[in-house]
Structure 1
Protein backbone atom coordinates (compact mmCIF):
# COMPACT_ATOMS: atom_id res chain seq x y z
CA UNK A 1 0.00 0.00 0.00
CA UNK A 2 1.20 3.51 -0.84
CA UNK A 3 -0.49 5.61 1.86
CA UNK A 4 0.02 4.94 5.56
CA UNK A 5 -2.80 5.70 8.00
CA UNK A 6 -2.48 8.14 10.89
CA UNK A 7 -0.15 6.87 13.57
CA UNK A 8 1.91 4.71 11.19
CA UNK A 9 5.16 6.28 9.99
CA UNK A 10 8.40 5.15 8.38
CA UNK A 11 11.63 5.49 10.34
CA UNK A 12 15.11 4.03 10.74
CA UNK A 13 15.47 2.22 14.07
CA UNK A 14 18.68 0.49 15.15
CA UNK A 15 19.83 0.83 11.54
CA UNK A 16 16.73 -0.99 10.26
CA UNK A 17 14.01 0.55 8.08
CA UNK A 18 10.83 0.11 10.07
CA UNK A 19 7.22 1.16 10.42
CA UNK A 20 6.47 2.87 13.73
CA UNK A 21 2.93 2.19 14.94
CA UNK A 22 1.54 4.45 17.66
CA UNK A 23 -1.71 3.66 19.46
CA UNK A 24 -3.35 5.06 22.63
CA UNK A 25 -2.00 2.00 24.48
CA UNK A 26 1.40 1.14 23.03
CA UNK A 27 4.08 1.75 20.42
CA UNK A 28 5.40 -0.94 18.07
CA UNK A 29 7.91 -1.18 15.26
CA UNK A 30 7.83 -3.60 12.34
CA UNK A 31 10.41 -4.34 9.66
CA UNK A 32 9.00 -5.31 6.28
CA UNK A 33 12.25 -7.23 5.83
CA UNK A 34 11.31 -10.56 7.37
CA UNK A 35 7.82 -9.32 8.27
CA UNK A 36 9.48 -8.95 11.64
CA UNK A 37 8.05 -7.26 14.70
CA UNK A 38 10.97 -5.46 16.35
CA UNK A 39 9.44 -3.67 19.30
CA UNK A 40 6.26 -3.65 21.39
CA UNK A 41 6.13 -1.15 24.25
CA UNK A 42 2.87 -0.92 26.20
CA UNK A 43 2.25 2.30 28.12
CA UNK A 44 3.97 2.23 31.52
CA UNK A 45 6.42 -0.54 30.65
CA UNK A 46 9.76 -0.94 28.91
CA UNK A 47 9.88 -2.71 25.56
CA UNK A 48 8.78 -6.35 25.84
CA UNK A 49 11.02 -7.38 22.94
CA UNK A 50 14.81 -7.59 22.62
CA UNK A 51 16.86 -6.78 19.51
CA UNK A 52 20.60 -7.36 19.53
CA UNK A 53 22.53 -4.06 19.46
CA UNK A 54 24.99 -5.81 17.12
CA UNK A 55 22.41 -7.46 14.88
CA UNK A 56 23.15 -8.08 11.23
CA UNK A 57 21.18 -5.78 8.95
CA UNK A 58 19.01 -6.59 5.90
CA UNK A 59 19.35 -8.45 3.60
CA UNK A 60 20.62 -10.76 6.36
CA UNK A 61 18.33 -12.02 9.12
CA UNK A 62 17.65 -9.63 12.01
CA UNK A 63 18.60 -10.95 15.46
CA UNK A 64 15.72 -10.26 17.83
CA UNK A 65 12.10 -9.17 17.94
CA UNK A 66 9.83 -11.85 16.46
CA UNK A 67 11.48 -13.64 13.51
CA UNK A 68 9.08 -15.79 11.49
CA UNK A 69 10.54 -19.29 11.04
CA UNK A 70 8.69 -20.73 8.02
CA UNK A 71 8.03 -23.06 6.17
CA UNK A 72 10.29 -25.07 8.44
CA UNK A 73 11.79 -24.67 11.88
CA UNK A 74 15.58 -25.00 12.16
CA UNK A 75 16.31 -27.39 9.33
CA UNK A 76 13.70 -30.01 10.19
CA UNK A 77 13.26 -32.26 7.18
CA UNK A 78 15.59 -30.11 5.05
CA UNK A 79 18.99 -30.76 3.45
CA UNK A 80 22.13 -29.52 5.19
CA UNK A 81 22.48 -26.57 2.82
CA UNK A 82 18.99 -25.19 3.52
CA UNK A 83 18.62 -21.68 4.94
CA UNK A 84 18.27 -21.89 8.74
CA UNK A 85 14.59 -21.43 9.73
CA UNK A 86 13.41 -20.93 6.11
CA UNK A 87 13.19 -17.97 3.75
CA UNK A 88 10.38 -15.98 5.40
CA UNK A 89 12.69 -14.15 7.80
CA UNK A 90 15.00 -12.93 4.99
CA UNK A 91 12.29 -11.95 2.50
CA UNK A 92 10.46 -8.66 2.08
CA UNK A 93 6.80 -8.73 3.10
CA UNK A 94 4.55 -6.13 1.46
CA UNK A 95 2.10 -4.35 3.75
CA UNK A 96 -1.36 -5.13 2.36
CA UNK A 97 -3.66 -3.43 4.89
CA UNK A 98 -3.46 -1.01 7.81
CA UNK A 99 -6.46 0.28 9.73
CA UNK A 100 -7.74 1.33 13.15
CA UNK A 101 -10.33 -0.33 15.32
CA UNK A 102 -12.83 1.79 17.23
CA UNK A 103 -10.69 1.92 20.40
CA UNK A 104 -7.54 2.96 18.50
CA UNK A 105 -5.97 -0.50 18.22
CA UNK A 106 -3.93 -0.71 15.00
CA UNK A 107 -4.43 -3.67 12.67
CA UNK A 108 -1.76 -4.41 10.06
CA UNK A 109 -1.66 -7.20 7.53
CA UNK A 110 1.36 -8.37 5.56
CA UNK A 111 1.80 -11.08 2.94
CA UNK A 112 4.85 -13.11 1.92
CA UNK A 113 5.17 -13.42 -1.88
CA UNK A 114 4.95 -16.94 -3.30
CA UNK A 115 8.27 -18.68 -3.83
CA UNK A 116 9.10 -21.24 -6.51
CA UNK A 117 9.03 -24.75 -5.08
CA UNK A 118 6.94 -23.82 -2.03
CA UNK A 119 3.20 -24.29 -2.75
CA UNK A 120 2.13 -22.25 0.29
CA UNK A 121 0.71 -18.77 0.78
CA UNK A 122 1.52 -16.95 4.02
CA UNK A 123 -0.21 -13.94 5.54
CA UNK A 124 0.36 -12.20 8.85
CA UNK A 125 -2.02 -10.16 11.00
CA UNK A 126 -0.88 -7.86 13.81
CA UNK A 127 -3.24 -6.24 16.33
CA UNK A 128 -1.34 -3.63 18.32
CA UNK A 129 -3.15 -2.16 21.29
CA UNK A 130 -3.33 -2.97 25.00
CA UNK A 131 -1.89 -6.34 24.07
CA UNK A 132 -0.15 -7.73 21.02
CA UNK A 133 -2.01 -10.27 18.89
CA UNK A 134 -0.04 -11.84 16.07
CA UNK A 135 -1.01 -14.64 13.71
CA UNK A 136 0.43 -16.28 10.62
CA UNK A 137 -1.94 -18.08 8.25
CA UNK A 138 -0.71 -20.71 5.80
CA UNK A 139 -2.78 -21.83 2.80
CA UNK A 140 -1.68 -24.90 0.85
CA UNK A 141 -2.01 -24.18 -2.90
CA UNK A 142 -0.31 -27.36 -4.11
CA UNK A 143 -1.66 -30.75 -5.12
CA UNK A 144 0.19 -33.07 -2.72
CA UNK A 145 0.43 -33.22 1.10
CA UNK A 146 2.95 -30.83 2.67
CA UNK A 147 4.67 -31.18 6.06
CA UNK A 148 4.92 -27.77 7.75
CA UNK A 149 7.04 -26.79 10.76
CA UNK A 150 7.23 -23.18 11.92
CA UNK A 151 7.64 -20.81 14.85
CA UNK A 152 7.14 -17.26 16.04
CA UNK A 153 10.66 -16.98 17.47
CA UNK A 154 9.95 -14.28 20.08
CA UNK A 155 12.87 -12.70 21.95
CA UNK A 156 11.44 -11.42 25.24
CA UNK A 157 13.44 -8.76 27.07
CA UNK A 158 14.18 -9.38 30.75
CA UNK A 159 16.23 -7.41 33.26
CA UNK A 160 18.20 -10.48 34.42
CA UNK A 161 17.59 -13.86 32.79
CA UNK A 162 19.35 -15.67 35.64
CA UNK A 163 16.43 -14.67 37.89
CA UNK A 164 13.66 -15.29 35.35
CA UNK A 165 11.28 -18.25 35.42
CA UNK A 166 8.64 -19.60 33.03
CA UNK A 167 5.48 -21.27 34.29
CA UNK A 168 3.20 -23.67 32.43
CA UNK A 169 5.82 -26.29 31.59
CA UNK A 170 6.05 -28.51 34.70
CA UNK A 171 5.72 -32.21 33.93
CA UNK A 172 6.04 -31.77 30.17
CA UNK A 173 8.34 -33.84 28.01
CA UNK A 174 10.99 -31.89 26.10
CA UNK A 175 13.63 -32.60 23.48
CA UNK A 176 16.99 -31.10 24.44
CA UNK A 177 19.09 -30.02 21.47
CA UNK A 178 22.28 -30.01 23.54
CA UNK A 179 22.32 -33.70 24.45
CA UNK A 180 19.84 -35.05 21.88
CA UNK A 181 17.80 -36.63 24.67
CA UNK A 182 14.20 -36.40 25.86
CA UNK A 183 13.53 -35.36 29.45
CA UNK A 184 10.64 -34.28 31.70
CA UNK A 185 10.46 -30.78 33.14
CA UNK A 186 10.63 -30.58 36.93
CA UNK A 187 9.14 -27.34 38.28
CA UNK A 188 9.21 -24.06 36.41
CA UNK A 189 11.80 -23.41 33.70
CA UNK A 190 14.86 -21.39 34.68
CA UNK A 191 18.54 -21.20 33.77
CA UNK A 192 19.22 -22.52 37.27
CA UNK A 193 18.00 -26.01 36.25
CA UNK A 194 20.53 -28.40 37.81
CA UNK A 195 20.20 -30.85 34.90
CA UNK A 196 21.73 -28.40 32.39
CA UNK A 197 22.36 -25.02 34.07
CA UNK A 198 23.13 -21.74 32.35
CA UNK A 199 21.66 -22.42 28.90
CA UNK A 200 18.52 -23.77 27.23
CA UNK A 201 17.54 -25.12 23.82
CA UNK A 202 14.41 -27.16 24.40
CA UNK A 203 11.28 -28.09 22.45
CA UNK A 204 8.47 -28.78 24.91
CA UNK A 205 5.92 -31.20 23.49
CA UNK A 206 2.18 -31.46 24.13
CA UNK A 207 1.98 -28.04 25.73
CA UNK A 208 -1.06 -26.06 26.79
CA UNK A 209 -1.48 -22.51 25.58
CA UNK A 210 -0.63 -20.19 28.51
CA UNK A 211 2.85 -19.41 29.81
CA UNK A 212 4.02 -16.71 32.20
CA UNK A 213 7.53 -15.27 32.01
CA UNK A 214 8.30 -13.89 35.46
CA UNK A 215 10.96 -11.18 35.44
CA UNK A 216 11.48 -10.21 39.10
CA UNK A 217 14.46 -7.95 38.37
CA UNK A 218 12.27 -6.03 35.92
CA UNK A 219 9.21 -6.12 38.17
CA UNK A 220 6.89 -7.55 35.57
CA UNK A 221 5.12 -10.66 34.33
CA UNK A 222 4.90 -11.21 30.58
CA UNK A 223 2.06 -13.52 29.58
CA UNK A 224 2.16 -15.55 26.38
CA UNK A 225 -0.96 -17.29 25.07
CA UNK A 226 -0.48 -19.50 22.02
CA UNK A 227 -3.00 -21.02 19.61
CA UNK A 228 -2.64 -23.55 16.80
CA UNK A 229 0.43 -24.90 18.58
CA UNK A 230 1.22 -27.83 20.85
CA UNK A 231 4.94 -27.14 21.18
CA UNK A 232 6.98 -24.37 22.75
CA UNK A 233 10.67 -23.70 22.19
CA UNK A 234 12.62 -22.14 25.09
CA UNK A 235 16.04 -20.86 24.06
CA UNK A 236 18.86 -18.94 25.65
CA UNK A 237 22.42 -19.66 24.48
CA UNK A 238 24.09 -18.91 27.80
CA UNK A 239 27.50 -17.31 28.19
CA UNK A 240 29.54 -19.67 26.01
CA UNK A 241 26.88 -19.86 23.33
CA UNK A 242 26.49 -16.08 23.09
CA UNK A 243 30.24 -15.65 22.68
CA UNK A 244 30.05 -17.88 19.57
CA UNK A 245 27.20 -15.87 17.94
CA UNK A 246 28.58 -13.13 15.71
CA UNK A 247 25.60 -10.77 15.84
CA UNK A 248 25.09 -10.85 19.62
CA UNK A 249 27.18 -9.17 22.33
CA UNK A 250 28.96 -11.59 24.64
CA UNK A 251 26.69 -10.50 27.51
CA UNK A 252 23.54 -10.28 25.38
CA UNK A 253 22.21 -13.57 26.70
CA UNK A 254 21.63 -11.95 30.11
CA UNK A 255 18.75 -9.76 28.92
CA UNK A 256 16.47 -12.04 26.89
CA UNK A 257 14.82 -15.41 26.71
CA UNK A 258 13.11 -16.80 23.62
CA UNK A 259 9.68 -18.35 24.06
CA UNK A 260 8.62 -19.59 20.66
CA UNK A 261 5.07 -20.56 19.76
CA UNK A 262 5.82 -23.41 17.41
CA UNK A 263 4.75 -26.35 15.33
CA UNK A 264 7.93 -28.39 15.62
CA UNK A 265 9.19 -31.88 16.44
CA UNK A 266 6.15 -34.14 16.97
CA UNK A 267 3.86 -31.13 16.44
CA UNK A 268 4.52 -30.83 12.69
CA UNK A 269 1.43 -29.93 10.63
CA UNK A 270 0.42 -32.21 7.75
CA UNK A 271 -1.39 -29.95 5.28
CA UNK A 272 -3.57 -31.42 2.56
CA UNK A 273 -4.15 -29.42 -0.64
CA UNK A 274 -6.52 -26.52 0.05
CA UNK A 275 -6.09 -26.71 3.83
CA UNK A 276 -5.19 -23.75 6.05
CA UNK A 277 -3.39 -23.52 9.35
CA UNK A 278 -3.15 -20.57 11.75
CA UNK A 279 -0.42 -20.16 14.35
CA UNK A 280 -0.98 -17.24 16.69
CA UNK A 281 0.11 -15.66 19.94
CA UNK A 282 -1.15 -13.03 22.35
CA UNK A 283 1.36 -11.11 24.45
CA UNK A 284 0.43 -8.99 27.47
CA UNK A 285 2.21 -7.60 30.53
CA UNK A 286 1.45 -6.76 34.15
CA UNK A 287 3.44 -5.56 37.12
CA UNK A 288 4.61 -8.16 39.64
Structure 2
Protein backbone atom coordinates (compact mmCIF):
# COMPACT_ATOMS: atom_id res chain seq x y z
CA UNK A 1 0.00 0.00 0.00
CA UNK A 2 1.24 3.48 -0.83
CA UNK A 3 1.99 5.87 2.01
CA UNK A 4 1.67 9.64 2.01
CA UNK A 5 2.11 12.68 4.24
CA UNK A 6 0.11 15.90 4.30
CA UNK A 7 1.45 19.07 5.92
CA UNK A 8 -0.37 22.40 6.19
CA UNK A 9 1.76 25.40 5.26
CA UNK A 10 1.25 29.15 5.02
CA UNK A 11 2.84 30.86 2.02
CA UNK A 12 2.31 34.60 2.33
CA UNK A 13 -1.46 35.08 2.62
CA UNK A 14 -2.33 31.64 1.21
CA UNK A 15 -3.21 28.41 2.98
CA UNK A 16 -1.42 25.50 1.30
CA UNK A 17 -0.86 21.79 1.64
CA UNK A 18 2.34 19.92 0.90
CA UNK A 19 1.51 16.34 -0.06
CA UNK A 20 4.26 13.73 -0.34
CA UNK A 21 3.92 10.21 -1.68
CA UNK A 22 6.18 7.50 -3.01
CA UNK A 23 5.92 9.13 -6.45
CA UNK A 24 6.65 12.76 -5.68
CA UNK A 25 5.80 15.94 -3.82
CA UNK A 26 2.94 18.31 -4.57
CA UNK A 27 2.33 21.81 -3.18
CA UNK A 28 -1.21 23.09 -3.61
CA UNK A 29 -3.02 26.23 -2.46
CA UNK A 30 -6.57 26.45 -1.18
CA UNK A 31 -7.04 29.56 -3.30
CA UNK A 32 -7.93 28.40 -6.78
CA UNK A 33 -7.17 24.78 -5.83
CA UNK A 34 -3.96 25.78 -7.59
CA UNK A 35 -1.13 23.30 -7.85
CA UNK A 36 1.96 25.42 -7.12
CA UNK A 37 4.69 22.87 -7.72
CA UNK A 38 5.18 19.19 -8.44
CA UNK A 39 8.40 17.21 -8.43
CA UNK A 40 8.88 13.50 -8.92
CA UNK A 41 11.35 11.69 -6.68
CA UNK A 42 14.89 11.98 -8.05
CA UNK A 43 13.98 14.33 -10.92
CA UNK A 44 14.06 18.07 -11.61
CA UNK A 45 10.72 19.84 -10.96
CA UNK A 46 8.01 18.96 -13.44
CA UNK A 47 5.90 22.05 -12.76
CA UNK A 48 7.50 25.47 -12.36
CA UNK A 49 7.12 27.81 -9.39
CA UNK A 50 8.39 31.33 -10.00
CA UNK A 51 11.24 32.37 -7.71
CA UNK A 52 9.47 35.72 -7.29
CA UNK A 53 5.94 34.34 -6.90
CA UNK A 54 3.53 36.53 -4.92
CA UNK A 55 1.26 34.65 -2.49
CA UNK A 56 -1.58 37.11 -2.06
CA UNK A 57 -5.31 36.64 -1.67
CA UNK A 58 -7.15 37.60 -4.83
CA UNK A 59 -4.08 37.13 -7.04
CA UNK A 60 -3.26 33.96 -8.96
CA UNK A 61 0.25 32.67 -8.26
CA UNK A 62 2.77 32.58 -11.12
CA UNK A 63 3.23 28.83 -10.83
CA UNK A 64 2.01 25.31 -11.32
CA UNK A 65 -1.52 24.91 -12.69
CA UNK A 66 -3.91 27.86 -12.28
CA UNK A 67 -7.52 26.98 -13.14
CA UNK A 68 -9.04 29.34 -15.72
CA UNK A 69 -12.86 29.08 -15.54
CA UNK A 70 -15.62 29.91 -16.66
CA UNK A 71 -13.73 31.80 -19.32
CA UNK A 72 -10.15 31.96 -20.54
CA UNK A 73 -8.08 35.13 -20.99
CA UNK A 74 -9.79 38.39 -21.86
CA UNK A 75 -13.55 37.80 -21.79
CA UNK A 76 -13.96 40.21 -24.72
CA UNK A 77 -11.83 37.88 -26.85
CA UNK A 78 -14.23 35.01 -26.16
CA UNK A 79 -17.20 34.04 -28.35
CA UNK A 80 -20.40 35.94 -27.68
CA UNK A 81 -22.05 32.89 -26.09
CA UNK A 82 -19.37 32.85 -23.37
CA UNK A 83 -19.53 36.63 -22.87
CA UNK A 84 -23.30 36.47 -22.48
CA UNK A 85 -23.00 34.29 -19.38
CA UNK A 86 -21.39 37.16 -17.43
CA UNK A 87 -23.54 40.04 -16.15
CA UNK A 88 -20.84 42.34 -14.78
CA UNK A 89 -18.90 45.21 -16.32
CA UNK A 90 -15.28 44.53 -15.33
CA UNK A 91 -14.46 40.92 -16.14
CA UNK A 92 -11.24 39.65 -14.53
CA UNK A 93 -8.79 37.89 -16.82
CA UNK A 94 -9.05 34.10 -16.85
CA UNK A 95 -12.39 33.94 -15.10
CA UNK A 96 -13.54 33.72 -11.50
CA UNK A 97 -12.30 30.39 -10.14
CA UNK A 98 -8.56 30.92 -9.75
CA UNK A 99 -8.73 33.56 -7.00
CA UNK A 100 -11.41 32.00 -4.80
CA UNK A 101 -11.01 29.50 -2.03
CA UNK A 102 -11.93 25.95 -2.89
CA UNK A 103 -12.96 23.27 -0.42
CA UNK A 104 -10.73 20.23 0.03
CA UNK A 105 -13.17 17.31 -0.05
CA UNK A 106 -10.67 14.57 0.62
CA UNK A 107 -7.37 12.82 0.10
CA UNK A 108 -7.42 9.05 -0.25
CA UNK A 109 -5.26 6.19 -1.45
CA UNK A 110 -6.56 3.91 -4.16
CA UNK A 111 -4.02 1.23 -4.90
CA UNK A 112 -0.68 2.93 -5.54
CA UNK A 113 -2.22 6.32 -6.42
CA UNK A 114 -3.29 9.25 -4.29
CA UNK A 115 -6.59 10.97 -5.13
CA UNK A 116 -7.11 14.59 -4.05
CA UNK A 117 -10.51 16.24 -4.64
CA UNK A 118 -11.52 19.90 -4.42
CA UNK A 119 -14.84 21.66 -5.02
CA UNK A 120 -15.65 25.33 -5.64
CA UNK A 121 -18.90 25.82 -3.66
CA UNK A 122 -19.46 29.38 -4.95
CA UNK A 123 -19.86 28.04 -8.51
CA UNK A 124 -23.30 26.83 -7.40
CA UNK A 125 -24.85 30.21 -8.24
CA UNK A 126 -22.79 32.42 -5.94
CA UNK A 127 -20.05 33.75 -8.21
CA UNK A 128 -20.31 37.55 -8.66
CA UNK A 129 -22.18 38.51 -11.83
CA UNK A 130 -22.17 34.90 -13.06
CA UNK A 131 -25.54 33.58 -11.85
CA UNK A 132 -25.33 29.95 -12.94
CA UNK A 133 -25.45 26.73 -10.95
CA UNK A 134 -22.49 24.52 -11.86
CA UNK A 135 -20.97 21.85 -9.66
CA UNK A 136 -17.25 22.42 -10.22
CA UNK A 137 -14.67 19.95 -8.94
CA UNK A 138 -10.97 19.44 -9.47
CA UNK A 139 -9.48 16.00 -9.04
CA UNK A 140 -5.74 15.41 -8.84
CA UNK A 141 -4.27 11.92 -9.00
CA UNK A 142 -0.65 11.39 -7.98
CA UNK A 143 0.56 8.10 -9.41
CA UNK A 144 3.01 7.16 -12.12
CA UNK A 145 1.63 10.27 -13.86
CA UNK A 146 0.06 13.43 -12.47
CA UNK A 147 -3.57 13.54 -13.60
CA UNK A 148 -5.59 16.75 -13.30
CA UNK A 149 -9.32 16.81 -14.13
CA UNK A 150 -11.59 19.86 -14.08
CA UNK A 151 -15.19 18.67 -13.96
CA UNK A 152 -18.22 20.88 -14.66
CA UNK A 153 -21.78 19.62 -14.06
CA UNK A 154 -24.65 21.96 -14.93
CA UNK A 155 -27.10 21.73 -12.00
CA UNK A 156 -29.24 24.60 -13.26
CA UNK A 157 -32.26 24.65 -15.56
CA UNK A 158 -30.65 26.72 -18.35
CA UNK A 159 -27.76 25.97 -20.74
CA UNK A 160 -24.30 27.20 -19.74
CA UNK A 161 -21.42 27.97 -22.15
CA UNK A 162 -17.85 28.24 -20.92
CA UNK A 163 -14.24 28.41 -22.05
CA UNK A 164 -11.53 27.15 -19.71
CA UNK A 165 -7.95 26.00 -19.31
CA UNK A 166 -5.54 24.21 -17.03
CA UNK A 167 -2.86 26.91 -17.31
CA UNK A 168 0.14 24.62 -16.72
CA UNK A 169 3.63 26.07 -16.18
CA UNK A 170 6.25 23.42 -16.98
CA UNK A 171 9.81 23.51 -15.67
CA UNK A 172 12.48 23.28 -18.38
CA UNK A 173 16.27 23.49 -18.36
CA UNK A 174 16.31 26.33 -20.93
CA UNK A 175 13.31 27.15 -23.13
CA UNK A 176 15.69 28.10 -25.96
CA UNK A 177 16.84 24.48 -26.12
CA UNK A 178 13.50 22.65 -25.92
CA UNK A 179 10.90 21.86 -28.55
CA UNK A 180 7.23 20.92 -28.54
CA UNK A 181 6.20 17.90 -30.59
CA UNK A 182 2.66 17.06 -31.66
CA UNK A 183 1.84 20.49 -33.11
CA UNK A 184 3.29 19.81 -36.57
CA UNK A 185 0.90 20.96 -39.30
CA UNK A 186 -1.67 22.42 -36.92
CA UNK A 187 -3.48 25.70 -37.46
CA UNK A 188 -2.89 28.26 -34.74
CA UNK A 189 -3.94 31.79 -33.83
CA UNK A 190 -0.93 34.11 -33.54
CA UNK A 191 -2.12 36.51 -30.85
CA UNK A 192 1.05 38.61 -31.21
CA UNK A 193 0.24 39.38 -34.86
CA UNK A 194 -3.31 40.72 -34.68
CA UNK A 195 -4.76 37.25 -33.99
CA UNK A 196 -3.89 36.03 -37.45
CA UNK A 197 -4.45 32.35 -38.22
CA UNK A 198 -1.35 30.49 -39.39
CA UNK A 199 -0.06 26.94 -39.84
CA UNK A 200 2.73 25.35 -37.83
CA UNK A 201 5.68 24.03 -39.79
CA UNK A 202 7.48 21.22 -37.99
CA UNK A 203 7.97 21.00 -34.23
CA UNK A 204 7.79 24.24 -32.25
CA UNK A 205 11.09 25.77 -31.10
CA UNK A 206 11.39 29.05 -29.19
CA UNK A 207 13.29 32.12 -30.39
CA UNK A 208 11.16 34.93 -28.96
CA UNK A 209 7.93 35.78 -27.15
CA UNK A 210 5.31 33.14 -27.89
CA UNK A 211 1.55 33.30 -27.33
CA UNK A 212 -0.38 30.99 -29.60
CA UNK A 213 -3.72 29.18 -29.58
CA UNK A 214 -3.36 25.82 -31.33
CA UNK A 215 -6.54 24.44 -32.87
CA UNK A 216 -7.75 20.86 -33.33
CA UNK A 217 -4.88 19.58 -31.23
CA UNK A 218 -4.15 15.85 -30.98
CA UNK A 219 -4.64 14.08 -27.64
CA UNK A 220 -0.91 14.08 -26.97
CA UNK A 221 1.73 16.82 -26.95
CA UNK A 222 5.24 16.62 -25.55
CA UNK A 223 8.10 18.86 -24.43
CA UNK A 224 11.49 17.49 -25.43
CA UNK A 225 14.25 18.78 -23.14
CA UNK A 226 17.67 17.52 -24.32
CA UNK A 227 19.69 19.11 -21.48
CA UNK A 228 17.61 17.45 -18.77
CA UNK A 229 17.38 14.36 -20.97
CA UNK A 230 13.64 14.04 -20.55
CA UNK A 231 10.35 14.18 -22.39
CA UNK A 232 7.29 15.62 -20.65
CA UNK A 233 4.15 14.14 -22.18
CA UNK A 234 0.71 15.73 -21.92
CA UNK A 235 -2.16 13.36 -22.68
CA UNK A 236 -5.49 15.19 -22.72
CA UNK A 237 -9.18 14.40 -23.01
CA UNK A 238 -12.14 16.76 -23.30
CA UNK A 239 -9.95 19.27 -25.18
CA UNK A 240 -9.09 20.07 -28.77
CA UNK A 241 -7.22 23.32 -28.23
CA UNK A 242 -4.02 24.31 -26.44
CA UNK A 243 -2.34 27.60 -25.60
CA UNK A 244 1.48 27.76 -25.70
CA UNK A 245 3.06 30.75 -23.96
CA UNK A 246 6.46 32.09 -23.01
CA UNK A 247 6.97 35.81 -22.22
CA UNK A 248 10.66 36.00 -23.28
CA UNK A 249 12.83 38.92 -22.18
CA UNK A 250 10.87 42.15 -22.51
CA UNK A 251 7.54 40.84 -21.28
CA UNK A 252 9.17 38.99 -18.36
CA UNK A 253 10.86 42.21 -17.21
CA UNK A 254 7.37 43.74 -16.88
CA UNK A 255 6.10 40.96 -14.61
CA UNK A 256 6.69 41.70 -10.94
CA UNK A 257 6.23 38.04 -9.97
CA UNK A 258 8.85 36.68 -12.39
CA UNK A 259 12.62 37.08 -12.30
CA UNK A 260 14.02 38.89 -15.35
CA UNK A 261 15.53 35.59 -16.52
CA UNK A 262 12.65 33.44 -15.23
CA UNK A 263 11.31 32.99 -18.75
CA UNK A 264 14.26 30.73 -19.52
CA UNK A 265 13.12 28.12 -17.00
CA UNK A 266 9.43 27.83 -17.86
CA UNK A 267 7.05 27.00 -20.67
CA UNK A 268 3.26 27.09 -20.53
CA UNK A 269 1.25 24.52 -22.43
CA UNK A 270 -2.35 25.02 -21.41
CA UNK A 271 -4.81 22.19 -21.95
CA UNK A 272 -7.88 24.15 -22.93
CA UNK A 273 -11.33 24.66 -24.37
CA UNK A 274 -10.90 28.00 -26.16
CA UNK A 275 -11.65 29.76 -29.44
CA UNK A 276 -14.24 27.58 -31.22
CA UNK A 277 -13.57 24.70 -28.81
CA UNK A 278 -16.32 25.74 -26.38
CA UNK A 279 -18.08 23.71 -23.72
CA UNK A 280 -21.85 23.94 -23.98
CA UNK A 281 -23.63 22.30 -21.06
CA UNK A 282 -27.33 21.61 -21.25
CA UNK A 283 -29.13 21.25 -17.91
CA UNK A 284 -27.86 18.10 -16.24
CA UNK A 285 -24.88 17.72 -18.59
CA UNK A 286 -21.26 17.31 -17.52
CA UNK A 287 -17.83 17.88 -19.03
CA UNK A 288 -14.36 16.85 -17.89
CA UNK A 289 -11.20 18.67 -19.03
CA UNK A 290 -8.32 16.36 -18.18
CA UNK A 291 -4.58 16.21 -18.67
CA UNK A 292 -2.22 13.44 -17.63
CA UNK A 293 1.37 14.66 -17.21
CA UNK A 294 4.24 12.18 -17.26
CA UNK A 295 7.98 12.26 -17.83
CA UNK A 296 10.33 9.76 -19.40
CA UNK A 297 14.06 9.76 -20.11
CA UNK A 298 15.23 10.52 -23.63
TM (norm. structure 2) is 0.89
Inter-partner Cα distance in structure 2 for 1:145 and 1:236: 35
Map of 1:143 onto structure 2: 157
8 Å CA contact 1:168–1:212 kept in 2: the answer is: yes
3-state SS of 2:62 partner: coil
1:100 corresponds to 2:109: yes
Provide, for residues 3-28 of structure 1, a one-character-per-residue CA deviation record: whole Å limited to 9, x for no partner: xx951121245875321111112111
Residue correspondence of structure 1 range 248-263 to structure 2 within 5 A? 248-263=258-273
Inter-partner Cα distance in structure 2 for 1:173 and 1:88: 29
- Specify which of 33, 36, 47 is matched with residue 35 of structure 1: 33
Displacement after TM superposition at 1:143 (Å): 2.3
Map of 2:100 onto structure 1: 91
Displacement after TM superposition at 1:35 (Å): 0.3
Inter-partner Cα distance in structure 2 for 1:260 and 1:34: 16
Inter-partner Cα distance in structure 2 for 1:251 and 1:164: 16
- More divergent stretch after superposition (32-41 vs 78-87): 78-87
1:269 corresponds to 2:252: no
Map of 2:90 onto structure 1: 81
Map of 2:192 onto structure 1: 178
3-state SS of 1:136 partner: strand
- More divergent stretch after superposition (147-156 vs 17-26): 17-26
Inter-partner Cα distance in structure 2 for 1:243 and 1:63: 14
Inter-partner Cα distance in structure 1 for 2:132 and 2:264: 37
For structure 2, the residue ranges without an aligned partner over 5 or more in a row are none
3-state SS of 1:242 partner: helix
Inter-partner Cα distance in structure 1 for 2:285 and 2:151: 11
3-state SS of 2:177 partner: coil
- Specify which of 202, 215, 228 is matched with residue 212 of structure 2: 202
Inter-partner Cα distance in structure 1 for 2:4 and 2:181: 38
Map of 1:22 onto structure 2: 20
TM (norm. structure 1) is 0.92
Displacement after TM superposition at 1:203 (Å): 0.7
For structure 1, the residue ranges without an aligned partner over 5 or more in a row are 193-197
- Specify which of 114, 123, 133 is matched with residue 119 of structure 1: 133
Inter-partner Cα distance in structure 1 for 2:104 and 2:25: 18
Map of 1:195 onto structure 2: none
8 Å CA contact 2:146–2:293 kept in 1: the answer is: yes
Inter-partner Cα distance in structure 2 for 1:242 and 1:158: 16
Displacement after TM superposition at 1:251 (Å): 1.1
Inter-partner Cα distance in structure 1 for 2:145 and 2:182: 20
8 Å CA contact 2:11–2:55 kept in 1: the answer is: no
Inter-partner Cα distance in structure 2 for 1:9 and 1:173: 44
Inter-partner Cα distance in structure 2 for 1:234 and 1:107: 28
- More divergent stretch after superposition (86-95 vs 245-254): 245-254
Inter-partner Cα distance in structure 1 for 2:263 and 2:181: 20
Map of 1:9 onto structure 2: 7
8 Å CA contact 1:49–1:65 kept in 2: the answer is: yes
Inter-partner Cα distance in structure 1 for 2:89 and 2:267: 27
3-state SS of 1:266 partner: coil
* Count of aligned pairs between the two proteins: 278
8 Å CA contact 1:213–1:222 kept in 2: the answer is: yes
